[in-house]
A and B are shown apart, each in its own frame.
Chain A
């Protein structure tokens, strides 16, 4: 993928989420919302290595994954506003996203709940002899859930075409990794299950893309399940639009280091230094994105409101 596309895709996710955060205080997006600001490079780098036919499952912090895979912005914003045009018709909100047109199979907020589903999708692809990979995004917290280990074992046993992408931001809500897991690298767990593993800087989109390309190629060529662990940093509060540094669960120093390692600013600098991105390009992208964002909010706010009658539909297929 072209450098510009990577840059633009990250910038787009950032601006969309900033707009969501700004407007959350209006109290019209009435659902829990987990922002991925600071973690955009992983979603963008991984998705850049995928084809349209590849599928993906995600979790509570799904906006970036959904958007990078090509999920409809209008349907996402409308979903957050609880409107009929939302991707779940209002049933889900921010924590439940889906766009089957682009292979985004579903995101749900029960930690690790979608991990075996992604393995199942890879299994189906392999049974049907379809050349596609299934991708699952998991936070570091997922490695505490038994179902993740059960899923990896099955994926390895059947050499399934799945790519596990661990976004290690070291926190589950306010609890640091060291209070939840014994001291050992996460990727070694995958290794022990027989997965091919790679480790990288999740705030470097080039690096993410390079690793992801290898993983996707391996998975597509019958080398079995792939695992990538990316380090990254969540900038804002676990759930909600604000910063929560006043709670004191992360040190000021740590936060400063985290915010300095901005995947977008770093990439911008790199591209500018190699003269592959100009300020004019950036300005153009900013304008385009702003317009798209404004339109998506207009779309959401002018969309019909579902009713209690609608809520009764869709219980059974």
Chain B
């Protein structure tokens, strides 16, 4: 759908535009993070903002993740609306005390007398040997703490709309961006708009299987769905979950009512994953709708190895997701249609870069 005043821009540009819109509308919004005003501008998501809004609203940051999170919480309690950004979610782990003990609980423990309108943008790394300490996908860990909202937008449209909603929300929001989404384009309106922080979105429709997916896995699931349709005429529902802490279980159940089958695709380790939580909720609320046991598609329960030889099969691919669908349907994989599907889903380029133009080191 191409609206007037909209055009195709990347996820990174959409984040930048969301920040720009928010800062333009509300002088309480300030932006801080390591590298925010530097020449690389957090993968170009903060480009030009220092020039436009000045050094009193757009800040670089000392390497002090925990302390500065607390400082931002204090500022948020005092009328500002800070947006922090960390180039990797792994660096936000240093701030976990402030995020969990203070930000997540302030509103509750003080009887709703105050709230923390803080957005923490964090980026999940992947590929080119990001390895054990630069590519963790920790959405489930943050989501287990009540009081923190955790979202993972997938499309550029949602990145902008959900960022604007997050900044206007009176709660602390972890805004998780997957590094491999940054370069993907989508149709995005120029003006500001909001996308809710607790609703899934249907990316592809079908009645055979429900594939509920998070973040980059929604991109992979959509590729799988299109391949399944083109090669084998199998139609699956793909839901981009978008929210992690406030799971849109109702939308998943609506889809499962149609399909009777559920696969959840996650970017994280399998055990303790939010995929497991979603399945638990669906089973609790609608087990009778399921005609077969649900399946998680996720990464294995070990740290991400750096070596590209070892990491080759670490991440689920469209093929993994398509195979899960076919296995669930008991479909014949010894067929020309299946071989055609595999051909369609063949990756163009190395497994450890988001696209062919990528030459490292990030």
Contact = CB atoms under 8 A, between A and B. Distances in A.
Contacts of A147: 94
B91 A110 contact: yes
A279 interface: no
Given A112-B63, A173-B38, A174-B35, A32 B309 contact: no
B130 A32 contact: yes
A109 to B, nearest CB: 6
A238 B38 CA distance: 13
Interface string A12-49: 00000000000011010011110000000000000000
Given A112-B63, A315-B301, A249 B91 contact: no
Interface string A71-92: 0000000000011001011111
B309 A90 contact: yes
Nearest to A313: B302
A225 interface: no
A305 B362 contact: no
B60 interface: yes
Given A83-B307, A172-B63, A174-B35, A91 B300 contact: no
B129 A180 contact: no
Interface residues of A, number: 52
Given A248-B39, A308-B313, A145 B132 contact: no
A90 B63 contact: no
Interface string B337-362: 00000000000000010000001111
B134 interface: yes
B190 interface: no
A144 B361 contact: no
Nearest to B97: A146
Given A145-B64, A173-B34, A175-B38, A108 B133 contact: yes
A112 B130 CA distance: 18
Q: Interface of chain A, helix or strand or loop or mixed?
A: loop
B310 A308 contact: yes
Nearest to A304: B309
Contacts of A241: 361
Closest 5 CB pairs of A and B: A31-B129, A82-B307, A90-B307, A93-B306, A144-B62
Given A82-B307, A90-B307, A180 B63 contact: yes
Nearest to A109: B133
A146 B94 CA distance: 10
9 contacts: A30-B360, A86-B307, A89-B307, A90-B310, A91-B305, A95-B131, A145-B94, A172-B63, A239-B362
A306 interface: yes
A249 B38 contact: yes
B63 A111 contact: yes
B361 A239 contact: yes
B90 A308 contact: no
Given A112-B63, A239-B361, 8 more contacts: A91-B306, A93-B306, A108-B133, A147-B94, A240-B360, A241-B361, A306-B305, A315-B302
Interface string B252-263: 000000000000
A111 B94 CA distance: 10
B79 interface: no
Most buried by A among B66, B309, B314: B309
Interface in A51-67: none
Nearest to B300: A312
Contacts of A307: 309-310
A25 B360 CA distance: 9
Contacts of B34: 172-173, 175
Contacts of A179: 60
B303 interface: yes
B39 A174 contact: yes
Given A145-B94, A146-B66, A32 B134 contact: yes
Contact of A311 (B39, B40, B310, B360): B310
A310 B38 contact: no
B64 A146 contact: yes
Question: Which of A27, A91, A92, A141 has most chain B Cβ within 10 Å?
Answer: A91
A142 B131 contact: no
B272 interface: no
Contacts of B94: 110, 145, 147
A24 B360 CA distance: 9
Contact of A27 (B39, B63, B359): B359
B360 to A, nearest CB: 6
Given A96-B306, A141-B63, A240-B360, A311 B134 contact: no
A33 B361 CA distance: 7
Contacts of B201: none
B214 interface: no
A249 B310 CA distance: 36
A144 B71 CA distance: 14
A210 interface: no
Contacts of A27: 359-360
A1 interface: no
B312 A308 contact: yes
Contacts of B303: 91, 315
B91 A30 contact: no
B67 interface: yes
Contact of B302 (A111, A146, A311): A311
B309 A175 contact: no
A315 B310 CA distance: 14
A57 to B, nearest CB: 15
Interface string A292-317: 00000000000001111011100100
A247 interface: yes
A311 B131 contact: no
Given A32-B134, A91-B305, A310 B310 contact: yes
A96 B39 contact: no
